[in-house]
Structure 1
Amino acid sequence: MLSQIDRQIIRSWYTHLVEPRLAPFHSKGPRLTGPRIAVIGNCQAFGLAYAMKLLDPSARVSHFSAIAKTLADIKLLAKTLATYDYVFCHEFLHGHVRGGGSAELCELLDKVIMIPSITFSAFHPDLVYLLDETRGHAPTIGPVGPYHSALAVFAFRRGLSVEEAHALFNRNVFEALGYFDVWNDAVNELVETGKRKFDMDLSSEIANWSRRGVFMYSLVHPRPFVLFDLAKKFFAHAGLPTPAPINGDYYAIDDLGRAEIFPIYPPIGEYFGVQGSYTFKLENYHLSSEVGEFVSLPYYLAECYKVYRRCTQAQLSHPRIEAWLADPAAVGRIITLAGENLRKGLLPA
C-alpha cells in the first residue's frame, strides 16, 4: 500500500514535470509564481504546511508525512525534494522511509532546513508513551491510541483494582507526584532544544501562546495558532520574504483536533486557570460521516486494564513508572493516598 509520502512523491513529479506542459490548455486555479516549499515530518507537518501556504498564497507547498512506512527509499525522496526551493524537515528516524531518516536526508540534500517540533508536558503531566524496546520501540496502543496515563499503568503494574486506580485521580496524588511543578522545566526544555539544535529562540512565542491559555492537545499535538506562529518563525529563519499580516485564526484548520485528545485534569486546569475535565477524545479522521467518541475516566480505566492484561511487561514500561515502582516510599505514598481517597468516596467522574 502506498504511504502518504509515496503518493506525494508521485504528485510532486506530476506538478513539476507534467502540469506545466498542460497549463496552456486548461487552468486548475491561480498560477503559482512563488517558491516551491516542502514540509516533511511528523503529525505537526500538515499544520505547518497549511500555515506556510496561508502566509504565501503564491507558493506551491507540499506536505510529506514521515509517519507510515514508505515504498520509496531515502534517495528517491531526496531527489524529489531537490525540485523544491525550500525543504523544511522535522527529525525522523529510520523505519519510516527505507534507507534512512532525516540525518541521511540531510547528507543527500544540503538545502534541508531542520526545524523543531513542539513537545510540551505541563498541561498533561500524567501522559506517557509506552514504547516496547523488544519490538523496535513500537508503541503500545490503548483505548486512546498511544496516549496512556502513568497513574493507570502504575496501578495496573502494582496490582491495584480499577476502583483504586480511579481514586488516584485527585489533587493530593497530583501534588505528591509533582504534577503541578512541570511548567518551568517544560518551557526550559523547549527553549533550550530550539536554541541548541535548531538555532531558534522560541521564548517569545511560548510567552504569547501561554497568554492564550491551553495551547496543546497532548504532549506533541499543538493547537493551530502554535503552528501558524512557527510557520512565520521558520519563514524568517529561512530568509523567505516577510509575509503580509494575516489573521491565522480566521483561516485555521484544526487537523490535530481530529486525533486523540488527552484531557487536562480538573485540578491541573484549576491550577492554570482554565477549564479541565476527565473526558478523553478518541481519534476520528472521518468527521464527514460521524462525530466521533468521547469516554469518561471510569470507562477509560476499565478499558486500559483490559488492554494491559494482554500486554507483556516490556509493553508497559516507561522510565517514570519504573522509577516509582523501584522506590518503596513512592509506592507506599501512592497506595496510601489511593486508599484514603477511596474511603472518602473521591472518585471523579
Structure 2
Amino acid sequence: MVPDSVAALAASLACPGSSWRSWAGAWRRPRIDSLDPVRDGSRIAVLGNCQADGVAQSLRLLLPSAQVHLVPFDGLGRRYGSLERLKADLAPFDHVFTQFFPEGFVEGGNVHALGDNDPRLRLYPTILFPGYQPDMVLVGDVGALSASRLIASPTGPYHSAIVLCAYLEGLGLEETVKLFRESVYTRLGFYEAWNVAAAELLGSARDIMFPLEAELARWSRRGCFMHVLNHPKLFVLADIARRLATEAGLEPLPAQVEDYLPDDLAADVVWPLYPDLAVHYGLTGTMLFKDRARRGDPKLYDLRAFIAASFAIYRRHAPEALGCIRVAGWRANPAVRALFRA
C-alpha cells in the first residue's frame, strides 16, 4: 500500500503554523525593511512559506550587494488586502522570486495573476518530500487549511500514523512499540515512499519550469535532506537560492551557505529516519523525535516516550475528532488492519 499522495498533502503542509484563511482579515500595510546603505545592488523580493526565509538568507549571503526583502505567505492577505496592493508593494524590486500560492491567499487571484506579464517574477518550488519520513501525518480537520483546526502532537502538528492507528485500535504502549519494524513498514508501503515522493517533487518542479533532477540526485548523496517532510535542510534551500540568482543573471559567491549560516528550520521539529528505513537507504537512523525549541533546550522523545505522550493527547479528544485520511484508509482495509491486531 503506497502512502497517500504527496500532492494531497501539499496544500495542508505549505506552512504548518499559519492559517490559510487569514487573508479575510482587515488590510494593514506592512512596514518595509529599511534599505541597507551598504547594499546598493539588485533589489530582490522573496515570497513563500516557511522555506522562503532560508532562501532569502542564502541570497543575502551569496549576493553581498543585493537588497533582499522577505514577504512571508503567512497572513499575506491580511497584510495586503488585495493583489493590486501586493503588486504595488513589489513594484520597486528588480526580481521577484515566489513559490506558488492559490486563490484565496490574497483577494484578486493566485500567483499567476501576480506574475501576469511581469518578467521579473520567477517561480521556485515548494519542497515537500515525505520519502524519509513516510509515517508523518496531520490529524484533525486538515481540509480547513488552518493550524487551529489540527490536533497538536508532542512534536507540533506532526503525528505518527502508526501510533494513531494503534491507539484507535485499542493497542497499548508495548504493543505499539512492536509495530515499528521492517515487516510492518513493508506492508504499509513505507519502502515505496521515496520513489513516490521523488516523482511528485520532480513533477511539480517541472510544472513550474524549475526542474530538480540534478539537485535531487545531489541532495540524496548527502543523506536525509529533510528535517520533516516540508522542512528541507539549509543546503537544499541554498541550492535553490543560488540557482535563482544565477538564472536571473546575477553572480552569487562560490560559498557553501551551510558553512556560514545557521539552519533555522533545525530549531523546529525534527522527525527521525527510522533505523530499518535508514538501512534501506544506506544511512544511519534513530528513533528520537525532537520537539521545536521554545525556552531553553529542545526536548527529545525516544519511541516509548513519544507514544505515551501521543496517547495522552489522543485521550483528550473524541475518536471522531482524530481525523486522518491515511489512518482511515488503513482501518478500512482488513489486511492492513490485521497488522494492528496481530
Which residues of 2 match residues 128-139 of structure 1 at below 5 A? 128-133=137-142, 135-137=144-146, 138-139=149-150
In structure 2, the residue corresponding to 1:9 is in which secondary structure?
coil
Q: CA RMSD in A?
A: 2.7
User: For 1:171 and 1:108, how far apart are their aligned partners in 2?
Assistant: 50
The one of 144, 151, 158 aligned to 2:169 = 158
> Kindly tell me: are residues 132 and 101 of structure 1, through their superposed partners in 2, closer, same or farther at Cα, counting changes over 3 Å?
farther
* Structure 1 position 161, deviation (Å): 2.1
Cα separation, partners in 2 of 1:133 and 1:54, compared to 1, 3 Å: closer
2:316 to 310, 320, 328: 310
Match of 1:172 in 2: 183
Partner SS, residue 123 of structure 1: coil
User: In the TM superposition, what is the alpha-carbon distance from 1:255 to its structure 2 partner?
Assistant: 0.7
139 and 49 in structure 1: CA distance in 2 versus 1, 3 angstrom threshold: same
Secondary structure of 1:182's match?
Answer: helix
Q: 1: CA distance between counterparts of 2:293 and 2:75?
A: 17
Structure 1 residues 285 and 86 mapped into 2: Cα distance closer, same or farther (>3 Å)?
farther
1:220 maps to what in 2? 230
Does the CA-based 8 Å contact 1:235-1:241 persist in structure 2? yes
Contact 2:46 2:98 in 1 (8 A): yes
Q: Shift of residue 11 of structure 1? A: 2.6
Whether 1:42 aligns to 2:49 is yes
- Whether the 8 Å CA contact 1:8–1:64 is kept in 2: the answer is no
TM-score by length of 1: 0.81
Aligned to 1:202: 212
Amino acid at match of 1:266: P
The alpha-carbon deviation at position 114 of structure 1 amounts to 2.2
Tell me how far 1:266 sits from its aligned partner.
Answer: 1.2
Q: Tell me, yes or no, if structure 1 residue 63 matches structure 2 residue 70.
A: yes
Aligned to 2:96, what secondary structure does the other structure show? strand
Equivalents in 2 of 1:172, 1:217: separation in Å?
25
Structure 2 CA distance for aligned equivalents of residues 300 and 100 of structure 1: 44
Secondary structure of the residue that 2:130 maps to in structure 1? coil
Q: Which amino acid aligns with 2:191?
A: F
* Local SS of the residue matching 1:40: strand
| Deviation by residue 1:178-231 (Cα, 9 ceiling, x = unmatched) | 2122222221111111112x1111000011111111111110111111111111
CA distance in 2, matches of 1:131, 1:107: 34
Residue of 87, 94, 97 corresponding to 1:85: 94
Unmatched runs of 5 consecutive residues or more in structure 1: 16-28, 337-349
SS in 1 for 2:54: helix
Q: Whose helix fraction is larger, Structure 1's or Structure 2's? A: 1
More displaced, 160-169 or 274-283? 160-169
Which of structures 1 and 2 has the larger relative contact order (alpha carbons within 8 angstroms, sep 6+)? 2
Which residue of structure 2 lines up, in the alignment, with residue 249 of structure 1?
258
* Structure 1 counterpart of 2:301, from 295, 301, 305: 295
Tell me if the contact between 1:173 and 1:334 (Cα under 8 Å) persists in the aligned partners: no
> d(CA) in 1 for partners of 2:126 and 2:101?
11
Match of 1:182 among 181, 193, 201: 193
- CA change 1:135–1:199 in 2 (3 A) is closer
Q: 1:250 to 1:134 in 2, by over 3 A?
A: closer
Aligned 8 A contact 2:142 2:150 in 1: no
Residues 259-301 of structure 1 show CA distances to partners (whole Å, capped at 9, x for unaligned) of 0111111111222222211111111155xxx222111211111
Aligned position for 1:103: 111
| Greater C-alpha Rg | 1
Percent of residue pairs bearing the same amino acid type: 33
Q: CA deviation at 1:247?
A: 2.5
Distance verdict in 2 for CA 1:92–1:163, change over 3 Å: farther
- Measure how far apart 1:77 and its partner are: 3.0
- State the one-letter code of the partner of 1:300: F
1:323 to 326, 329, 335: 329
The CA distance in 1 between the partners of 2:64 and 2:133, in whole Å, is 35
**SS of equivalent to 2:101:** coil
Deviation at 1:158, TM superposition (A): 1.9
